[in-house]
Structure 1
Amino acid sequence: VEVSGLPPNLNRSCCDCGVYALKYIESHMLNLPLDLINEDNIREARLKLAVDLWAASKDPVLIDRMEKYEPHNNSSDIVDVS
């Protein structure tokens, strides 16, 4: 596990925390420097994520998989975790 410090008040809009989280995960996976993620380019990253999700929703292979998806039969028993 690698711990990385982040500058304070990075997410000034308070609406992009999910985009920041995804981009930090992506940067770690690709061994990219974290300073590439900043307020100046996060809006473009948000737009790109939206476009990618929209394109994936039109993917015939993904649509076929989702139509055939059956959720796992999880137990509804109450489990005591104390």
Structure 2
Amino acid sequence: MNWNSLLEKLKPFLSDASTAILVIAPLVAVLMVGVNKVLEMVSDGQQDQMYSQKTKKIFVCLAVIFLASLIVKIVENYLK
């Protein structure tokens, strides 16, 4: 079996999976940030800082998801 034929068969699935991840990721991020902000409000000083750092990490992960998707599309178009 040729790799190109396998890739062509998987392309629609990968495209749909990518779209689903890009739609679900911001929703999950908003939910996680909301939970962390509520926990940050009811926690003491040291835990407050921990939840603030977790919130920053969530935004960084969200940015990585969107940048990775963009880079994959750019490389895919370049290789065509």
Same fold (TM over 0.5): no
Higher relative contact order, chain-length normalized (CA < 8 Å, sep 6+): 2
TM-score of the pair, normalised by structure 2: 0.32
TM-score of the pair, normalised by structure 1: 0.31
Higher helix proportion: 2
